Structure 1
Amino acid sequence: MLLPLGLLLSCVQYSLIPAAALPAGVDDQLSFNATWEDYQETFLPGFFQPSARFEVYNDGLEFPTVLANQSVQELAVKVTQDLLGVDSEVVFISGYSSDVADYAYLAQAYDNIPFVNAVANLALKEGKLSAFGSSFVQIDNIPSSVASMQMEDAISIAESVFSCPYNGHPVKMEYYAKADGNIALVHVIQVQNTDSWYEVYIDAHSGEAVGSTNFVASAVYRAVDIRKSSIANGASLIRNPQDKAASPLGWHNRGRKVIPGTLGNNVQTYIGRPSNIARASRRPDTFNYVYNVRQTPYVGQNPSAARVNAFYVMNTVHDFTYRYGFTEKAFNFQFNNFKKGGRPNDPVLLHSQNRQGLNNANFMTPPDGQSGICNMYVWTTANPHRDSDMDNDILVHEMTHGVSNRMTGGGTGRCLQTLEARGLGEGWSDAMADWTQQQRSARVVDFPAAAYSGNNRRGIRKYPYSTNRQINPHTYAEVRTSRGEHAIGEIWATALHDVYAALVRQHGFDARARTNPRSTKGNAVFLHLFLDALPIQRCNPTFLIARNAWLQADKNRYRGRNNCLLWRTFAARGMGTNAAGAPTYKGGFAVPPKCRRRRRRFDVEYVNPLEEETDLDEDSPIDSGMDSDLDSFSVDEDVDQDSFFEAEIDNN
C-alpha cells in the first residue's frame, strides 16, 4: 500500500505503519498530501469524554454534622457518593489546598479498579462545598475485572496501531467508558517516540484499541515571531514551536488530555474570565486567527488573535528560560512539575485585553505553588487603539518579572520589594525583551522598548537601548535622581545591553541559542549569566550587588573567563570598583588592575618583498614587544611597509 507522503515522513522516527494495522480503505480516504495529524484524527481512537455535570454553590453547601470531623479525602468520597446517588466505589486520586479552598479529585471504580474517564472533582471552602463536577457513568453490564489478554500482547497491539514503541512505563488496569455506552476493562499502555506520546487503552478481553490520550500537541499558531517586536512586524503561521525539553507534553496538556484552546501546563490566556480561552480555529491544534490592525482590538478575530499571540510568547519564554535554569526546582510556573521538584499547580494566568486599565501591563508573582497573574491592557496612544497582547516586547517583559521574582530569594516572591530592587526588576525585564529581539543576527541593534504600544519609534523609555552614548547616555549615578522604578530600571537594562553586545563581539553569535544552552557563543553566555546571577544575589539586591552576582556567575560557570569584559562594561556605565551605593550613588569608572588597558606601539613585519605601498586585507603577523594573546590584526586600507600602529592591549 502506498501511504501519503506526509504520513510516511511523519512516522519514520519509529517505523512505517504496518498495513495490517491500517483500517480498510485508508488509501481511499486520505489524500496524497495527508499528514500524520490527518491520520490520527481520522482513524486512531481518541479520548472519549462521558456526559458531565458541573455545579457551583455560591454560598456553599453545608454538610451534615456527622461529616464535620472527617478528613478532606474521606469527606470528598462521601460527598461524591451522596451527590451522585451511587453505590459504586469512589477512589480518591489526588488533592491539594490553596489559601482559598481545598480541592479533591476522584474516580469511579469497580472491584477497586478505577475508571480512566469517569472522574469527579470538588472544591471545599470554609467547611462547605463550593463546586462539584462529575463524569461518572451508569454501570449496568461491566466486564470481568480479570483480563483475558496478556499484557505483552496488549503492548504489541498498542505499538502496532500507534506506530510508536512502548516506553517502559508500568502498565495499569483500568476501566474505560466507551462512546456506545459499554464499558471496557483496559490495559493502560504508554507508547512514545521522538514526536509522539500516547496513553493507549487496549481492551483486555477483545484486544481492540478503544481509546487514547495524546500527551503531545502538534500545534500551529498565527503569531508574531518571538524575535520580532510586535504585530507591526507582521504575524505568521508557526508550527510546533514548543520545546520538548522544557514542555515534554507540549503546551496544551493539562492532566490526562490535550486541550484545544489557549490553556496548558505553563500558561492560560483568556479574556474576562479564566474559562474564556481562545479555542482552536481547527481542532485540535490549529490557532489561525488574523489580527487586523485597522480595527479596534475588541472586534472580529482580534480578541482570539490576541490570546493566541500571548499564549505563544509566554510559553516560548517559559521554554527558553527553562533551558537556561528556570526549572521546576528553581520555582518556575507549571501546573504539573513531573515530580522534578518545586511546587506544582501554578501556571501563568494571563488576562488579555483586561478592561480594568489602560496603557500598561503588569505581572503578579506570588510564592512558588501559586499562579503568576499577568494583566495585559489596551493602549490609547493611536487610533485604532493598540493591544499590548500583540506587542512581544511587553509580553516578554512581563513574563520576566515572574522569572526574576521567583529566582531571587528562593521562590518566595518577596525579594524585589525595595525601590532599587524593583528598579532592577524592571531592568531585567527590559533586558530579556531586548535579548529576544537580538536573536535574528549577530548584529547588535538598538532596542526601542514597546515602540508599537507606545506609538513611538524611540520606544516608551527615555532613550532606546544602545551602545552609542550619543543615543543612550545613562550612567549609574542617575539612580540617585531617578524617579520611580521604571526610570531606575532603564539604567540597569542599559548596562545589560552593553554586556550583551560585548559578549557577542567577544564570543560570536549562535542562531540556535534559544534551544542550545551548551553553546559557547556570546548570546548564550549572556542568557546563562542572566539566570545564573538571580539566585546568587541576596534578597532585595542593589545595583552593585547585582553586578557582583554577574561576576560570580561567570566565575561559577566559566571560571571567570569574562571577568574583565564584565568589569569594563559595567564600569563604562559607572559601576566600576570605585562606585558607591546608597545614599550617594556615586559613579565610578575604575576597573581592577588586571583589567586595565595600556596603549602599545608595534610595527608591521615584512609584509611582502616589494618596498612600496601594499593593501593589507588579511590578517598580518605583528610584533607587539610584549606578552599578549594579540598575534595578528586586520586593516582594510593602504599602508606603507614601515607604518606603525597603536592598539589597546589587556594586561592579562
Structure 2
Amino acid sequence: MLPTGLISLALLLAGSVHGRKTMGWGHTSSEHRFVVHPQVPASFLAEDAAPFDVARQFMNHIYPGDYRIRQDSYTDKATGVTHVYVKQQHQGFDVFDGNININIKDGKVLSYGDSFYKGTSNREGSQVVLNSFAADPSSPADLRKTLMNFMIIAAPSDRATSELEVNFSQYLEGIEVTPESHFVEGEQPYTYFSNVPTAVSPVKGKPGYVQTESGLKFVWKFEVEMEDNWYEVALTPDGDEIPFVVDWAADSPIPDTLKSKDPKPATYLLFPWGVNDPSEGNRSYVYENYDSLASPLGWHKIPASSLPSGYFAPTPPKKGDIVNFTTTFGNNVFAHENWEGRNAWLHNERPDGGKGLNFSYPYDPQQSADGQAEAHKFINNTVAQLFYTSNLVHDLFYRYGFDELSGNFQQHNFGRGGAEGDAVIANAQDGSGYNNANFMTPPDGQNGRCRMYLWNTASPYRDGDLEAGIVIHELAHGLSTRLTGGPRDSSCLGWGESGGMGEGWGDFLATIIRTHNATDEEIVLPMGAWAANRDKGIRNYPYSTSLDVNPSTYKTLDRPGYFGVHAIGEVWAEILWVVSKKLIAVHNSSDTLFPPKPLDDGTIPSEDFYLPPSYDNKGRAEPLVPIHGNSLIVQLVLNGMKLQPCRPSFFDARDAIIQADEILTGGNNTCLLWSGFAERGLGPDARVDGRTPWGGGIRTNDYSVPLSCITDEPEPTPDTL
C-alpha cells in the first residue's frame, strides 16, 4: 500500500521508457498459495457430484467465512475441468484481492489457488455508511475529491496535472454521480462518476476491502478508462493511500444456427501467416482462411443484434440479419487507422475490398524527409495486415481453448456462453506514440483495445503492424489476462512475477508461432528485431536454448534491471522456450499449429495432429491430445493459465503447466517438463527468501528434478505420449 506522497517514486520506477505513463503495484499476501492434489475428505470424491456442489463443500472445508462464487466460473469443454472462481466477502462487501480458484473434474478437486485473508477479525474501517457522499458532496466522505486527486496523479502529462490542480473546484463541481439501477445478487452495485477529467468514459466505482499487514482496510475500487491507460485502482475514502493499482493496458516496448449467406472468402495481398516480418519473406495473395469452429461467420460478418453501440448503417438491418461488411470490420476484430491517437474508433477509416472482398494494395515505402507521411500512404495495406493477423490469432487461440466461456473477444458468441460485445478494437499506425505497442484488457464483455505504432528506427519508418510477432504478443495479453483468475477479473497480472509472465507468455507464443523448423536446436530468435532495426531485438537476449546466447535463469530476476515486467517476462519466456524444446526433441514438431478443421458433423479429425480419440468408462470423449511437441506445449501453456491462481508466481505457473499435462496425457510428460524447468533453475527446490509484494527477495536456482524422475527408464516417445 502506497501513501500518495510516495507516488512520484513509484511512477519513476513504473514508467514506460517509451513515454506512456503507467502505474502498477499492490500487496501480495505471504499466505498466497497454489496447491496441487490437495487432501480432501473422502466424501468429496463422488465422481458424479456436481462441480459447484463440490466447490461449496470444499470451501466450507477450508474456509468458514463469507464468500460468493463468481458468475464467470465455467466448465472447459475441451478438458472437462470446471474452473470455479470464489471471491472473499466481509460484511457483505467483496475483499477485492481475496480470491480462490478451484479446479474440479469428475467430482475431484485437482488443485486450487488461495489468496484469502485469514487474519484476525480486527478489521480497519469496518463501519461502513453507503453513499453518504452522494447526499452531501461537501462531506468528508465526498469521493469525488478522492477520485479527482487520483486523476491528478494519473494525468498523462505535467500540463494536464497542472490544469487539474489549478481548476480543481471547477472540475469537481462538474462530476455527476449516478448509482447503478440494477443489482447482481451477492455483489455491491456500481456507482458511476461522469465528466471526470481525462477519463474517456464514466468511471465505475464500488466499495469493498483490501488486505494489509494489519488487517482489512475499507476502500473504493474504481475502473478509470483514459486515452492511454485503463486503471483498476483501490483508494481509501480520504484519498491518502492507494493500496493497489493495475493498468489494464500492457505495453510491448518496443452453434451453427447462424450461417453466412455469402460463403465467398476474402482475398488479401499481404505477408502470409508464418512470415514474421518483411525481412523474412514477400507479400503474396492469401485467402480468408477462417476456422469454421472459431469463426462460424468468417471474418467480415456480424449478426445485426450484435453490432457495436453507435454503429450507423445506411440501410438499417433487421434483427435476425447477418450484416456483411466489405471493410476490415467483423465479429472478432475492428481494424482501422488511428492517426489522431484518440479514443474514438467506430468511424475511423478502413480499407474497402468491395463486393469481391479484394484487399490488394501497394506497399513500397521509400526514404523520405517525412517518414510518417510516407508510411501513411500505405495505410490500407497496414490495416488489412493487422486485420488478417488478428483474426488468425483469434482462431488459433480459440482452437486451443480460448473460447466464449473462457472470455475470448467476440461481438457475438453464438449462444456458447460468456459475455459478448467485446471484439478487439485494433488501431493501426496509432498516432499517440512511436516505437511501442500495447493492449488494454478489461473484463469479459468489454472490448479489448490493441494499439500498434510506427517505429522511427529506420528510414523509411517501420510499421509495427507488419511484424506479426509484436501483434501476437499484444493479443496474448488479452489471452493471459482473461484466462488467469477468470474472465471477469483483469487484475491478476498487474505487477511482479505475475505481470512479468503476462509479458513472457506473449513473447513465447510469438516465438513458437514464427518457428518454421522447431527441431533446430541452434535457432536464435530475437523479439521485435525488424521493427526496432536491432539485430538482438528489444529484449536483453534473443531466445535460444544455448546458455552462451541466452544465459537467463530464475536467479536472473535478482539482477539490476530485472525489476520491470518486461525483463521478468523475457526470463519466463526463455524458460518456456527451453521447456518447449524438450518436448519437441521427443515428439517432433508439427508444420502448423492450426488443428484440422471440424467435419460437417462437427467432429474433429485427428489426422496427423492429434492422437486417436479415446473415451472414459462412461463413453465420454477424452480431450484431444496433440501429437507434436510444439502444439502440445501451446496446449499445456493455455490449459495451465486456466488452472493457475490470480497473481501467480513462477512456481504457480510451472506447477499449473505440469498439472495440465497430468490432466491431458495422464502425466506422460511430467519428467520432460521438469527437466526443462530445472535446466533454467526452476526445479522443485527453487525458492525465494524475503519475497516482497512487488517481486523482490533473493532467489535460489535449483537444477534438480523430482526423485521420481531420476530413473534409467527411457524418456517417452510419440507412441507413449
- On whether the aligned pair clears a TM of 0.5, the verdict is yes
Q: Tell me which of 277, 284, 288 is aligned to 1:236.
A: 284
Aligned to 1:577: 684
Alpha-carbon shift at residue 281 of structure 1 (Å): 3.9
Distance in 2, Cα, partners of 1:630 & 1:547: 20
Distance in 1, Cα, partners of 2:201 & 2:372: 35
8 Å contact from structure 1 (residues 217, 258) kept in 2: no
Paired residue secondary structure (2:664):
helix
Distance in 2, Cα, partners of 1:437 & 1:458: 16
Alpha-carbon shift at residue 630 of structure 1 (Å): 9.8
Aligned to 1:521: 628
Aligned to 2:586: 506
Aligned to 1:546: 653
Paired residue secondary structure (1:513):
coil
8 Å contact from structure 2 (residues 681, 701) kept in 1: yes
Aligned to 1:432: 509
Amino acid across the alignment from 1:294: Q
Across the two proteins, how many residue pairs are aligned to each other? 402
Aligned to 2:702: 588
Distance in 2, Cα, partners of 1:396 & 1:307: 15
Amino acid across the alignment from 2:571: I
Alpha-carbon shift at residue 459 of structure 1 (Å): 1.3
Distance in 2, Cα, partners of 1:261 & 1:353: 17
Amino acid across the alignment from 1:452: W
Does 232-241 or 246-255 show the bigger shift?
A: 232-241
Alpha-carbon shift at residue 439 of structure 1 (Å): 4.2
Distance in 1, Cα, partners of 2:700 & 2:256: 62
TM-score (norm 2): 0.53
8 Å contact from structure 1 (residues 474, 491) kept in 2: yes
8 Å contact from structure 2 (residues 455, 463) kept in 1: yes
Distance in 2, Cα, partners of 1:528 & 1:334: 21
Q: Tell me which of 285, 288, 299 is aligned to 2:357.
A: 285
Aligned to 1:268: 334
8 Å contact from structure 2 (residues 518, 584) kept in 1: no
Aligned to 1:41: none
Aligned to 1:30: none
User: For 1:497-527, what per-residue CA distance to the aligned partner results, in whole angstroms no more than 9, with x for missing partners?
Assistant: 1112111111112223312463311111111
Alpha-carbon shift at residue 629 of structure 1 (Å): 7.1
Amino acid across the alignment from 2:548: Q
Does structure 1 residue 253 correspond to structure 2 residue 331? no
Q: Tell me which of 550, 564, 589 is aligned to 1:472.
A: 550
Paired residue secondary structure (1:585):
strand
Distance in 1, Cα, partners of 2:645 & 2:409: 22
Paired residue secondary structure (1:374):
strand
Q: Relative to structure 1, is the Cα distance of residues 543 and 249 closer, same or farther in structure 2, using a 3 angstrom cutoff?
A: same
Amino acid across the alignment from 2:391: N
Amino acid across the alignment from 1:337: N
Aligned to 1:416: 493
Distance in 1, Cα, partners of 2:545 & 2:682: 16
User: For 1:421-475, what per-residue CA distance to the aligned partner results, in whole angstroms no more than 9, with x for missing partners?
Assistant: 1100000000010011114564353211111111012211111100011101100
Paired residue secondary structure (2:575):
helix
In the TM superposition, what are the counterparts of 1:207-222 in structure 2 within 5 Å? 214=262, 216=263, 218-222=265-269
Distance in 2, Cα, partners of 1:630 & 1:249: 41
Q: Relative to structure 1, is the Cα distance of residues 350 and 447 closer, same or farther in structure 2, using a 3 angstrom cutoff?
A: same
Distance in 1, Cα, partners of 2:291 & 2:323: 19
Paired residue secondary structure (2:698):
coil
8 Å contact from structure 1 (residues 281, 289) kept in 2: no
CA root-mean-square deviation: 2.5
Distance in 1, Cα, partners of 2:517 & 2:328: 27
8 Å contact from structure 2 (residues 351, 383) kept in 1: no
Paired residue secondary structure (2:430):
coil
Alpha-carbon shift at residue 279 of structure 1 (Å): 2.2
User: For 1:114-144, what per-residue CA distance to the aligned partner results, in whole angstroms no more than 9, with x for missing partners?
Assistant: xxxxxxxxxxxxxxxxxxxxxxxxxxxxxxx
Alpha-carbon shift at residue 298 of structure 1 (Å): 4.1
8 Å contact from structure 2 (residues 428, 452) kept in 1: yes
User: For 1:188-240, what per-residue CA distance to the aligned partner results, in whole angstroms no more than 9, with x for missing partners?
Assistant: xx8x6xxxx42xxxxxxxxxxxxxxx3x4501112222212112222221112
8 Å contact from structure 1 (residues 229, 450) kept in 2: no
Amino acid across the alignment from 1:535: K
Distance in 2, Cα, partners of 1:425 & 1:291: 33
Percent of aligned positions that are identical: 36
Amino acid across the alignment from 1:568: S
Q: Relative to structure 1, is the Cα distance of residues 317 and 630 closer, same or farther in structure 2, using a 3 angstrom cutoff?
A: closer
Aligned to 1:312: 388
Alpha-carbon shift at residue 277 of structure 1 (Å): 4.0
User: For 1:564-585, what per-residue CA distance to the aligned partner results, in whole angstroms no more than 9, with x for missing partners?
Assistant: 0110110110100110033222
Aligned to 2:637: 530
Paired residue secondary structure (1:306):
helix
Amino acid across the alignment from 1:427: G
User: For 1:382-404, what per-residue CA distance to the aligned partner results, in whole angstroms no more than 9, with x for missing partners?
Assistant: 11211101111100000000000
Amino acid across the alignment from 1:512: T
Does structure 1 residue 335 correspond to structure 2 residue 411? yes
Alpha-carbon shift at residue 361 of structure 1 (Å): 0.5
Does structure 1 residue 350 correspond to structure 2 residue 398? no
In the TM superposition, what are the counterparts of 1:315-394 in structure 2 within 5 Å? 315-394=391-470
Amino acid across the alignment from 2:551: P
8 Å contact from structure 1 (residues 259, 284) kept in 2: no
Alpha-carbon shift at residue 274 of structure 1 (Å): 3.0
Q: Relative to structure 1, is the Cα distance of residues 298 and 408 closer, same or farther in structure 2, using a 3 angstrom cutoff?
A: farther
Amino acid across the alignment from 1:570: F
Q: Relative to structure 1, is the Cα distance of residues 441 and 564 closer, same or farther in structure 2, using a 3 angstrom cutoff?
A: closer
Alpha-carbon shift at residue 242 of structure 1 (Å): 1.3
Does 245-254 or 514-523 show the bigger shift?
A: 514-523
Higher relative contact order (CA 8 A, sep 6+): 2
Structure showing greater Rg: 1
8 Å contact from structure 2 (residues 500, 568) kept in 1: yes
Alpha-carbon shift at residue 413 of structure 1 (Å): 1.4
Alpha-carbon shift at residue 357 of structure 1 (Å): 1.1
Unaligned runs of 5+ in 1: 1-69, 72-97, 102-166, 170-189, 199-213, 599-626, 632-652
TM-score (norm 1): 0.59
Paired residue secondary structure (1:270):
strand
Alpha-carbon shift at residue 594 of structure 1 (Å): 2.1
Alpha-carbon shift at residue 289 of structure 1 (Å): 1.6
Q: Relative to structure 1, is the Cα distance of residues 522 and 630 closer, same or farther in structure 2, using a 3 angstrom cutoff?
A: closer
8 Å contact from structure 1 (residues 221, 237) kept in 2: yes
In the TM superposition, what are the counterparts of 1:97-116 in structure 2 within 5 Å? none
User: For 1:28-78, what per-residue CA distance to the aligned partner results, in whole angstroms no more than 9, with x for missing partners?
Assistant: xxxxxxxxxxxxxxxxxxxxxxxxxxxxxxxxxxxxxxxxxx99xxxxxxx
Distance in 2, Cα, partners of 1:441 & 1:260: 37
Distance in 1, Cα, partners of 2:267 & 2:465: 18
Q: Tell me which of 555, 562, 572 is aligned to 2:662.
A: 555
8 Å contact from structure 1 (residues 428, 493) kept in 2: yes
8 Å contact from structure 1 (residues 217, 252) kept in 2: no
Does 249-258 or 317-326 show the bigger shift?
A: 249-258
Q: Relative to structure 1, is the Cα distance of residues 514 and 232 closer, same or farther in structure 2, using a 3 angstrom cutoff?
A: same
